[in-house]
Amino acid sequence: MLLSVNNIRKAFGEEVVLDGVSFQMNEHDKTALIGRNGAGKTTLIRIILGELRADEGDVILPKDVTVGYLSQHQDMEGDRGIYDTVIDVKRDLLEVESRLREVEEEMKHLAGDALTEAYKEYERLNHRFEQENGYALRSEVTGIIKGLGFSEEEFDKPVSQLSGGQKTRVALARILLSSPKLLILDEPTNHLDMASIAWLEGYLAQYKGAVLVVSHDRYFLNRIVNRVVEIEHNRSMTYLGNYDEFYEKKAQVREAERRRYVNQQREIKHQEEVIAKLRSFNREKSIKRAESREKMLEKIERVEKPLAEEQGMRIRLVPRIESGKDVLTVTGLTKSFPGKPLFHDISFLIKKGERVALLGENGTGKTTMLKIIRGLLPADAGTIREGAKVSIGYYDQEQQNFNESNTVFGEISDDHPNMNNTEIRNTLALFLFTGEDVFKPISALSGGERGRLSLVKLMLSEANFLLLDEPTNHLDITSKEILEEALRSYEGTVFYVSHDRYFVDKTATRILDLTHETIISYEGNYTDYLAQKERKEAAAGFTVPSSGAAESQAETASKQNWKDQKAKDAEERKLRNRIAKLEDQIASCEQKIGEIDEAMLAPENCTNSFELNRLSEEKEKVEETLLAAMTEWEELQSNQ
């Protein structure tokens, strides 16, 4: 066992964040830690790292286990270049290399015992250098730095001049080079383009140590993890497999829990009805049966009602008016900045109802293109023509379309003066802004909150053409899935930039690949894009398999399901009819027994022994019939 987290509980004041969280990791496990924003993932990582004490429970991490931790924010300074900063993590190995060079020089001037001793030292140092892969160190450093998106021209760029995202990449490079037994990565793909993410996936898939990763990148998780730990309602649940397998298993677990609860509640209600019915017969035997059932009911271990899924956003994107068929026509578009050409003479057409994803490496000009289309930046050349009745809604990843001095409520009120207070509050509540949250200053909002507010404004725009720049950047997985569903049901047109491959796979109907200063169009989603790109690069044809067999199987299955359901309905009707007949028979027997009891008490029969014997025998037969009917009725009720 590499890491064992046992029954961790942590509260801040009265707010419980973690309660009974447990999971284990073995030496080569690749584990995802997921949960809604604010679920307690970062708190749990801090407890694992020893930065925070748990209120209850413990973390077992053997002393010989080295840990490398990548946080979301890096505070790196200094004038050393990227390459020197990264390779410095292997300073001990560099000192061995330096000493090797020194001994080599010394041996040139030594003889006898001194030379023998020097040679022994050289052999010892060289063995260690080889064991720690020292001869491949520089090529490994170069490979990692390039893999994370830096060019060789940037190797000497001082760390102090890097952006926050670039500093995070440098920190990640240092951690990967150090090769700890346990890697803990908090959102490692946030500042990487698709090529760098793909490189990191390959690196981690082959990584010999264990990896614990917090990420909202579902495609990334699908490629590298073999188990998922989800924190929900302060508790944890572990699922074997990647993200898609987790998603499917979680749905199965939820459904099983729901069915178990519903079935038990149905059985409890059924037993209560049987008990009431038995008591209504008002017979000694039926009352005893009722009491026996009551005791059994009391002993049942009650299944707790499953916790409801945590509330998520509710997005409904509805265009106010319908656009024309040709929504956007771009012709000969060209843009460059001093010393950096972006794209040249590109043209494309977006039709009504399309959901088009614009892909490309960082720095190719994707966001710039959206800003040109939105009219926020001028083009160097080319034309952009909007179609008839096109109304644009714009989501800015930099979220600069806010009045920073406003509150959340004021931002919506200013944009939509015709909405009353209740309407504004109800709309904000759909995006989880409730209570005093609606009066938060814009300047105090987190990235996730600003993202949600941008989506509020987008929904209220009632636009029929959405321009979205990295709409999932600050959203947790649940919110991403809600946005995906909203876009799939949206009747307007969407043109968006996203590095979230899972999101693109779920929403895109066409992909424009911005590469080498031009545009290449691919029909379909991200999976289709990869396949077409691979075929295009291999210059090979393809055939689409016929769906006839699948359709035939589906039709056959549908007919069989209908037959099965019909048979099941017939059985249920038969059962209900039999129960009704038995209840009538029970009532008739009860009535007959009552009549016999009255006849036995009649004056003319009290002294007639022959008649009393006959009535007694008749009563006994009716009671036997009653008992048989009641027994069958109970059995049928249990099977209902």
Instruction: Give, in degrees to the nearest 5, the angle at Cα 560 between 557 and 564.
Output: 135
Helix (H), strand (E) at residue 11: strand 3-12
Q: Do 358 and 293 belong to one domain?
A: no
Indicate left, alpha or beta for 143 from its phi (over 0: left) and psi (-120 to 50: alpha): alpha
pLDDT of residue 238: 94
Sign of CA dihedral 497, 498, 504, 507: negative
Backbone angles phi, psi at 163, to 5 degrees: -75, 170
Q: For 352-488, where are the E strands, in sequence order?
A: 355-359, 381-386, 392-395, 465-469
pLDDT of residue 544: 39
Q: Do 90 and 57 belong to one domain?
A: no
Q: Do 279 and 420 belong to one domain?
A: no
Specify the DSSP class assigned to residue 135: G
pLDDT of residue 565: 57
pLDDT of residue 567: 66
User: CATH code at 12?
Assistant: 3.40.50.300
Backbone angles phi, psi at 375, to 5 degrees: 85, 15
- Provide the domain count of the chain: 5
Helix (H), strand (E) at residue 176: helix 164-178
Q: Which residues does the chain have with pLDDT short of 50? A: 540, 542-559, 562
Question: For residue 313, is it within any domain?
Answer: no
Name the amino acid, one letter, at 76. M
pLDDT of residue 557: 45
Cα gap 408→421, rounded to integer Å: 12
Question: For residue 592, is it within any domain?
Answer: yes
Q: Do 364 and 475 belong to one domain?
A: yes
Question: For residue 39, is it within any domain?
Answer: yes
Question: For residue 11, is it within any domain?
Answer: yes
Query: Rg of the chain's alpha carbons, rounded to an integer?
Result: 36
Q: Do 396 and 492 belong to one domain?
A: yes
Q: Do 516 and 583 belong to one domain?
A: no
Cα gap 196→174, rounded to integer Å: 16
Helix (H), strand (E) at residue 24: strand 15-25
Indicate left, alpha or beta for 516 from its phi (over 0: left) and psi (-120 to 50: alpha): left
Q: Do 129 and 37 belong to one domain?
A: no
Question: For residue 341, is it within any domain?
Answer: yes
Cα gap 178→550, rounded to integer Å: 51
Cα gap 241→225, rounded to integer Å: 7
Q: Do 12 and 129 belong to one domain?
A: no
Question: For residue 373, is it within any domain?
Answer: yes
Q: Do 461 and 587 belong to one domain?
A: no
Residue finishing a domain among 498, 517, 538: 538
Contacts 24+ apart (CB under 8 A), 596-599: 596/622
Question: For residue 383, is it within any domain?
Answer: yes
pLDDT of residue 378: 94
Q: Name residue 59's beta-bridge partners.
A: 5
Give the CA distances from residue 394 to residues 201, 461, 464, in Å, rounded to whole numbers and listed in that order: 32, 9, 11
With contact defined as beta carbons under 8 Å apart, do 39 and 219 qualify?
Answer: no
pLDDT of residue 277: 84
Q: Do 55 and 78 belong to one domain?
A: no
Count other C-beta atoms under 10 Å from residue 441's C-beta.
13
pLDDT of residue 29: 94
Q: Do 60 and 70 belong to one domain?
A: no
Give the CA distances from residue 143 to residues 45, 176, 492, in Å, rounded to whole numbers and listed in that order: 29, 11, 44
Q: Do 465 and 479 belong to one domain?
A: yes
Cα gap 192→203, rounded to integer Å: 14
Show the domain range for 634.
569-639
Residue finishing a domain among 538, 560, 590: 538
Q: Which of 343, 369, 311 is nearest to 37 (CA)?
A: 311
Backbone angles phi, psi at 238, to 5 degrees: -105, 135
pLDDT of residue 208: 92
pLDDT of residue 549: 41
Give the list of residues 6+ apart from residue 514 with CB closer than 8 angstroms, or none: 343, 346, 358, 359, 360, 364, 365, 366, 369
Give the CA distances from residue 438 to residues 310, 411, 413, 435, in Å, rounded to whole numbers and listed in that order: 20, 10, 11, 6
Specify the DSSP class assigned to residue 216: S
Sign of CA dihedral 573, 575, 578, 582: negative
Residue finishing a domain among 41, 64, 87: 64
pLDDT of residue 399: 64
Question: For residue 242, is it within any domain?
Answer: no
